[in-house]
Structures are given as structure tokens and as C-alpha cells.
A and B are shown apart, each in its own frame.
Chain A
């Protein structure tokens, strides 16, 4: 079946503009996760969805970042008033239930969206 897909694959924007990044998880996967990878850094956890609710938003770096998930499926990560330090690869992952704790259930990653803020 289809894996996790993300769009756009690349996004170049000007400082101060808003951007929306989309994630389509694997069908039937209840849990959805957003990470970002800045240059030379590991993957940094942003937010976790269980169904449409987000029990853990602790990784969102500022109030310019928000995310929603509708219908237990597609998720959108929105960055308002983008800054140059927001430039990174934004990765989405999904897993079957997310209930056993992150490490105990395989997360399947999408290819990422490469965001460049000029």
C-alpha cells in the first residue's frame, strides 16, 4: 500500500510569509508525528497526534507553529511569519496506534518537505 506522503516536496518562501505543509499518513494509522531536521542536527520532535487530538505539542518551537489533523487522517503544519531559522526539512511519520509509547511501535516516515526561508 501507499506510504506516508508529504507535500510540497520543496518550498521556498520569503521571510514573514506563512507556509502550510501537508502530510498524508498511511491509511488506518491512528498516530501521526511531525519532526524537523535542521542542517547538521538530528530529527527534532514537534508534535504528536492521536486521532485528531494532539496530546503532546511540547516540541513546537514557538506560537508561530501550529498543526491540525482532520478526519483522523491528513495533517497540516502551519508556520506563520516564517523566519530564516525555520529553514529545515519537515518530516511526518505515522504509526498504527501510538499507544504503546513512541519507541515500541514502528514509525513510518514520509520523504519530508524541504523548507527554505529567504
Chain B
């Protein structure tokens, strides 16, 4: 039973436009959410995160939105660049000491292709 789901295996976007990657979760105990980016033959690298006390976190071209009632988060990339082409993983964890406080639960990833 997947607790973190990325329902879009891939997304193709034109350079300069907005990329929106979506993630849904089922466990209401999750209180911290992260996005990782992965290039081929490399390990994932941390991109941006958000805690459950916020509904938005912004870092340059990257913004993560959290809708707790819908158990949904999204990553917006504006403007998209060809170098953003990668696999994006959504991940979640719970409070320290709780069941998922010492685990990161990952989604299956979304392949983003930014066309120039």
C-alpha cells in the first residue's frame, strides 16, 4: 500500500513555462514533506521541503504548496529550464519518535522533460 503517490509517471513542458508536479499522501501523521531531484546515474539531491505548519515554501524558481485537508502537495517550477529535466521524487516523514519519524517514505517519481 503506497502511502505517497505520484500519479503522473512523466510530464513534458516547454522551456519558460510552468512545471507542476503533484504528490498525494494517505497518512495523516506525516508532518514534513520533501522534494528530491535525480539525474541519471546520480543519487537524489534535496530540492525543497515544507513542514505541515505551512502551506507554501518558496526557493527561487521552486515553490512547494501543501494542502493538508486534501493530503496533497505540489512542486511548481517557474520558469522551467532544460536543466530541470530529471526525475522528481516526493517524500514524507512523521514527527521524531513516531512511526514514520525515522523514515522517509518516497513516491515512485515523475520524469520531467523540459523542451527547448
Interface residues of A (CB under 8 A from B): 4, 33, 35, 40-45, 48, 55-56, 59, 91, 93, 98-104, 106-112
Contact = CB atoms under 8 A, between A and B. Distances in A.
Given A91-B43, A109-B45, A43 B32 contact: no
A103 B106 contact: no
Contact of A45 (B42, B49, B105): B105
Contacts of A101: 32, 93-97, 101-102
**Contact-residue size bin, chain B (C-beta under 8 Å from the other chain):** 20 to 34
Contacts of B95: 101
Nearest to A43: B106
A103 B108 contact: no
Is the contact region of chain B dominated by helix, strand, or loop, or is it mixed? Answer: loop
B77 interface: no
A98 B96 CA distance: 10
A80 to B, nearest CB: 24
B107 A42 contact: yes
A101 B96 CA distance: 5
B76 to A, nearest CB: 20
A99 to B, nearest CB: 8
A41 B108 contact: yes
Contact of B34 (A42, A91, A103): A103
A92 to B, nearest CB: 8
B61 to A, nearest CB: 19
A61 to B, nearest CB: 15
Contact of B89 (A43, A110, A111): A43
Contacts of B106: 35, 42-44
5 contacts: A43-B44, A101-B32, A103-B34, A104-B32, A106-B46
B89 A56 contact: no
Contacts of A44: 106
A48 B102 contact: yes
Given A41-B108, A104-B32, A59 B96 contact: no
A4 B43 contact: yes
A103 B96 CA distance: 9
